Structure 1
Amino acid sequence: MAENTGTAHGHGRGSGRHTGHEHDTGHGRDAGHGHDVAADADRRWLMIALGVILAYLVVEVVVGLLAHSLALLSDAAHMLTDAAAIMLALVALRVAARPAGGAYTFGLRRVEILSAQVNGLTLLLLAGWLTVEAIRRLFTPGDVAGGPMLAVALVGVAVNLAAAWAMSRANRTSLNIDGAFQHILSDLYAFVATAAAGVVVLATGWERADTIASLTVVVLMVKAGAGLLYASGRIFLEAAPDGVDPDGIGAAMARRPGVSEVHDLHIWQITSGEPALSAHVLVHPDADCHAVRVGMHAWLREEHHIDHITLQVDHLPTAAHPTAGRPDDPHCAAPHGTTHYAASRAAANPH
């Protein structure tokens, strides 16, 4: 269950009246249970995929050189980045598991997002290199041995299917692991395209089919690499998770019983799959700050699956308590982002 800690200043919780503010931080313990077990399982599946990739990489380089196949050599280069991506993911898993402490109050969880960015960038760089080589081969095609090319590609499909299956058993909600998986998946597509090119070369002798296959794979690599950079960039820029509407959540928070206003609402991800929320909540003068905070925390956790929650809860200023909830702090005079009001105040305070 979620853990709540709160500090209250004023007349005590029982009276439902606070002249100071109540601050809450909540972290879901359920997400932490079995984390070491899950990480060990992820490492095991990643190691299996890495072993499969490395074993076949050597075979593909040798046959690619003998067959003079750009598609095979480009697949081999891609498989090398696959192996590097998996090794990077393994390192990131180990580093990210270190406990928080010192200056790193969130720990080193975002190392996993750095790993995803590196994987996305290497896909784009490799796609650029293959594009240059493919364009050169379009004008000056070399001798391509269709038979060895087809045989190696078909075995490569099986190898990458095995690696992709092993990777799919790991936790792909982690952007780190998904980054390595995208490398494997795009390599699988490359082998399928190479096999098709081998059939064309054997049937027609048209050697440029090898180059067309490489360019097809380039498109898939750009798509996967750009997707990884976009997703990891959103996390580094503190954007709300995909599918989460901060304004919608803020408006719903303002409709909670006893709530008058919600501002300074921030929703972001610490790392993939770990959303966090903080907000300043003003409640009606006769409301119980503690009860509102506990209820809102439970609602956010159950309805929106957010466990890392920090709420500052204060009473709305009144004539008797003009400073309640409005300390001499510029952030309250000019809150960050949209201010959400309860229905009773929304007409008088248009957005």
Structure 2
Amino acid sequence: MHDHAPAGGGIRTASHRRLLAMSLAITATVMVVQIVGGLLSGSLALLADAAHMFTDTAALVIALVANAVASRPADDRRTYGYQRAEVFGALINAAVLIVLSVWIAIESVGRLMAPGDAEVEGGVMLVIAIIGLVANAAALWLLSSAQRNSINVRGAYLEVMGDLLGSAAVIVAAIVIVVSGWVQADAIASLLIAAMIVPRAIGLLREVFSVLSESAPQGTQIAEIRNHILGAPGVADVHDVHVWQLTRGAPVFTAHVVVDADVLERGGAAELLASLQSCLADHFDVSHSTFQIEPAGHADRDTAAHA
């Protein structure tokens, strides 16, 4: 006998798209301001931060498209729906982050090697950086809740966080330039921005590959889940346990459950299924679970049939 719990609702909601759209408006506006400010001040750090904002703008567009695609219902060809679109969106975001960090590093080293070629207006740089810091903080706050259960929104969240830290680095560099006139601070701030990007990009890539390789979600204890199932009345054994996730916040669980003969004789399979599904949903936050109920000895016959 097979049964499954309905897929959980609300993890790909219109509210996510609204948050992404609001963050996109903020990010795009600040990007334009930073480009203008970078050109007026001669600051590489501002231009680097603007380039990061440009990729954030593109990433948020990708996130919006992926979120809309992921919300499409399942069909006969894609029986789990389109939630994996979010994972591919996050993969693109991570790749763009890595390319961006390399470009920033190359430009920064060039300026450090030829400091006399750079003229930076620290005052303009400082004002623009403060505007960027405030705007990034607002965007980060908007995405903070949704990023916990969407890998795609998390990708956008991490990029906005990078911008926030980048703006802070630019502010420090601008203050140094205003106070001391040491323009190399601008190039050093650019290198710091690049250094902050790489670990987050690698972490996001690691999570993407974990999902695509169908590894168990981080923090999932298979043994603990198995023990909970074994503790249910009438369950004699559990085997062929598999846990993976379609995307962040969408775990999937399957298992074969061997039950005592009296459970089937008294027609208690449906009650047992409901109990197991509630157990996974309540204790392990798994809303999509599929169980195959087997009488004792079924697993042995199945093994012999495939020998």
Same-fold call, TM > 0.5? Answer: yes
Secondary structure at 2:215's aligned position in 1? coil
Which residue identity does 2:105 align to in structure 1? T
Deviation of the 1:154 alpha carbon? 1.2
CA distance in 2, matches of 1:49, 1:293: 43
Aligned positions of 1:222-301 closer than 5 A: 222-288=198-264, 290=269, 291-301=271-281
1:345 corresponds to: none
Contact kept? 2:177, 2:183, Cα under 8 Å: yes
Deviates more, 1:287-296 or 1:225-234: 287-296
Structure 2 counterparts to residues 29-178 of structure 1, below 5 A: 31-32=8-9, 39-141=13-115, 142-168=118-144, 170=146, 172-178=148-154
CA distance in 2, matches of 1:91, 1:171: 16
Q: State the Cα deviation string for residues 220-278 of structure 1 (Å, max 9, x = none).
A: 21121112111121111111111111122223323332222211100111221111110
226 and 331 in structure 1: CA distance in 2 versus 1, 3 angstrom threshold: farther
- Separation of aligned partners in 2, 1:330 and 1:230: 39
Whole-angstrom CA distance in 1 between matches of 2:16 and 2:259: 45
Contact 1:45 1:169 in 2 (8 A): no
Find 2:157's aligned residue among 150, 166, 181.
181
Kindly tell me: are residues 82 and 269 of structure 1, through their superposed partners in 2, closer, same or farther at Cα, counting changes over 3 Å?
A: same
TM-score (norm 2): 0.91
1:310 is aligned to 2:286: no
Count of residues paired in the alignment: 301
Can you give the 5+ residue segments of structure 2 that lack an aligned partner in the other structure?
none
Larger C-alpha radius of gyration, 1 or 2? 1
Q: Which has the higher helix share?
A: 2
Q: CA deviation at 1:104?
A: 0.6
Kindly indicate whether the alpha-carbon contact (under 8 Å) linking 1:265 and 1:277 is maintained by their aligned counterparts in 2: yes
Which whole-Å deviations, capped at 9, do the CAs of 1:160-211 have from their partners, x for residues lacking one?
A: 2222233336454211111111111101111110010011111122211111
Partner amino acid, structure 1, of 2:53: M
- 1:46–1:170 contact (8 Å) kept in structure 2: no
User: Structure 2: which amino acid aligns with 1:27?
Assistant: P
Q: Distance in 1 between matches of 2:209 and 2:192?
A: 26
RMSD: 2.1
